[in-house]
Structure 1
Amino acid sequence: MSRINTVLGPISAEELGLVAIHEHIGYGMPGSELDTKWWKTPEERYEETVPKLRKFHENGGGTFVDATGICNGRDIDYYKSLSRKTGVHIVACTGFVGGDTALPHFARASVDYLARHFIHEITVGIGDTGSKAGVIKVGVSRGGRMTELDKRIYRAAARAAVATGVPILTHLAIDARPAIDIFNEEGLPLDRVLFGHVDDGVNAESTPDTWIIEQGGRLGFDTFGYETELPDPPFWARPRKDRMEHFLRFVQGGHADKVLASADANCSPLGWPGVKGHTVNYIFEVLIPDLRANGVDEATINKIFVENAADFLSIRN
């Protein structure tokens, strides 16, 4: 039986339900939690987060994949508390959002060290929490091109994925060619990689999305809700219509089995104000109704949010 690591222990793929594949409980840049301008008490973070997760569960959401890497505010004991409180399965990740978020201890580490660290967090546990990571996060540093550190992290992640059977989720797909070269060199099947943020407003036009599909990878359309129509849109915003048309090209063009979708929302942001009103529940409140309005049937919606997610997250070993 296929299984997935959650913060409360392994579950079967059938237990996942509808999956928000790329979200954050509380993302921030390294050190932001120490800046008094942004510091929040546990009570404040809890008050912001619990209603969002409860609503997600009430809407029919089953699993929340927290894509917050090492050094970016990952808090496993907190996640465990939230999961028990709300009934939402939470999948935590090992790895880094990008090389530029890795603190010096990790930035100076070898590929072998990083791979062993990732494997430990997947097979033994994260710190002393007893919880195991269910996905590996990697990313492209600022500038849109993989740095040497990014490449070391990607290679370590590929080795850990091969050794443990867990998948990889990327932050940005803008520089996919060297990433895919590394995955191929390490013998990682590309259907174990979700190339994320292919739909963001900064990099979408430069991302080789069709080529990624042709190589066997999966596409993450996971910035839904970050729209230029917002009163104060972030720099990666995009017109809602443009993003939907981009998504539909793949959903209705024969590649519905290769795409996943999410809102990349931050339940309780650290070190930045976040985007007011944007939550994981955009999936239910706007995205799924938009898909229906554009002729996407229920079977395809189920494939994107349930079947594809379960296949991707299932440990293969």
Structure 2
Amino acid sequence: MSRVNTVLGAIPAAELGVVAVHEHIGYGMPGSELDSTWWKIPEERYAETVPKLREFHEHGGGTFVDVTGICNGRDVDHYRSLSAKTGVHIVACTGFVGGDTALPHFARATVEYLARHFVHEITVGIGGTGARAGVIKVGVSRGGRMTALDRRIYRAAARAAVQTGVPILTHLAIDPEPAVAIFGEEGLPLDRVLFGHADDGPNSSITPHEWLLARGGRIGFDTFGYETELPDPPFWARPRKERLDHFLSLLERGHLGQLLVSADANCSPLGWPGVKGHTVNYLFTDLIPDLRDAGVDDAVITTLLVDNPADFLSIRS
């Protein structure tokens, strides 16, 4: 039976339900949770997050995949409490959003050390929580090209994924050639990798979508809702229709089985104000209606939000 690690224990993949596959309970750069302007006590973070997860559950959402890496505000005890209170399955990650978010202890580490650490968090647990990571996060550092540290993290992640059977999810899908080479050298099939943020404003035009899909990779259109139409859009915003049309074009070219969608929302941002008016629930309030209005039937929507993420997140060992 296929299973997936959640913060409250492994569950059958068939029980995940609708999955938001690239989200954040609370994300910030290292140390930002102590920022003098945006610092929040745990109770405030909890109060911000619970209503969003409850709404997600009421809409029919089953699983929230938190891809907040090590050093970026990951708090597994917080996740466990939120999951128990709201009924939403929460999948935590190991790994890093990018090498530039790794604190010096990890930035100086070898591939071997990093791989052991990732494997421990997947098979034993994160810290003393006993909660096992269900996905590995890796990413391209700021600047748009993989750094030497990024490459060490990617290689360690590939080794951990091969050893444990959990998948890898990337932050950005730009400069993928070295990543694909590393995954191949480590024997990791590309269907175990979700190349994320393939749809954001600054990077969509330089992401080789068809090249990745042709090699068996999965593509994440996971910044739905970050639109230039927002009152104060972030720099990674993109026009709503442009993103939707791009996504529909990939569906029309027969790539349904390799596509996943999410909102990359931040329930309680750390060290910055976040983006007002955007939550994980955009998937239900806007994206699903947009897909239906475009003629996408419910069977395809189920594939995107239920079947594809269940297959991707299933541990293959």
TM above 0.5: yes
Structure 2 residue aligned with 1:302: 302
Give the match's secondary structure for 1:232.
coil
Structure 2 residue aligned with 1:15: 15
Give the match's secondary structure for 1:109.
coil
By how many angstroms is 1:36 displaced? 2.3
By how many angstroms is 1:47 displaced? 1.0
Q: Give the whole-Å Cα distance in 2 for the aligned partners of 1:80 and 1:230.
A: 32
Matches within 5 A, 1:1-317: 1-317=1-317
Q: Give the whole-Å Cα distance in 2 for the aligned partners of 1:256 and 1:299.
A: 11
Deviations 1:98-145 (A, max 9, x none): 000000000000000000000000000000000000000000000110
Amino acid at match of 1:162: V
By how many angstroms is 1:252 displaced? 2.2
Question: How many residues of Structure 1 are paired with residues of Structure 2 in the alignment?
Answer: 317
Amino acid at match of 2:290: D
Give the match's secondary structure for 2:118.
helix
Q: Give the whole-Å Cα distance in 1 for the aligned partners of 2:253 and 2:284.
A: 23
Amino acid at match of 1:58: E
Q: Give the whole-Å Cα distance in 2 for the aligned partners of 1:24 and 1:259.
A: 20
Q: Give the whole-Å Cα distance in 1 for the aligned partners of 2:176 and 2:292.
A: 31
- What runs of 5+ residues in structure 2 fail to find an aligned partner? none
By how many angstroms is 1:250 displaced? 1.3
The alignment-based identity, stated in percent, is: 78
Amino acid at match of 1:55: E
Q: Give the whole-Å Cα distance in 2 for the aligned partners of 1:288 and 1:21.
A: 15
Amino acid at match of 1:170: T
Q: Which runs of 4+ in 1 moved over 2 A?
A: none
Q: Give the whole-Å Cα distance in 2 for the aligned partners of 1:114 and 1:289.
A: 42
Deviations 1:62-85 (A, max 9, x none): 000001000000000000000000
Give the match's secondary structure for 1:251.
helix
Amino acid at match of 1:115: A
Deviations 1:17-45 (A, max 9, x none): 00000000000000011222221011111
Q: Give the whole-Å Cα distance in 1 for the aligned partners of 2:274 and 2:226.
A: 11
CA contact (8 A) 2:34 2:271 kept: no
Q: Give the whole-Å Cα distance in 2 for the aligned partners of 1:26 and 1:20.
A: 15
Q: Give the whole-Å Cα distance in 1 for the aligned partners of 2:285 and 2:67.
A: 22
Deviations 1:240-269 (A, max 9, x none): 001001111112221100000000000000
- What runs of 5+ residues in structure 1 fail to find an aligned partner? none
Mean Cα deviation higher: 90-99 or 27-36: 27-36
Q: Give the whole-Å Cα distance in 2 for the aligned partners of 1:62 and 1:102.
A: 31
Give the match's secondary structure for 1:137.
strand
By how many angstroms is 1:90 displaced? 0.1
Amino acid at match of 2:153: I
Q: TM-score of the superposition, structure 1-length normalised?
A: 0.99
Give the match's secondary structure for 2:133.
coil
Q: Give the whole-Å Cα distance in 2 for the aligned partners of 1:175 and 1:18.
A: 30
Q: Give the whole-Å Cα distance in 1 for the aligned partners of 2:253 and 2:215.
A: 17
Q: Give the whole-Å Cα distance in 2 for the aligned partners of 1:43 and 1:123.
A: 30
Amino acid at match of 1:131: A
Q: Give the whole-Å Cα distance in 1 for the aligned partners of 2:46 and 2:91.
A: 18
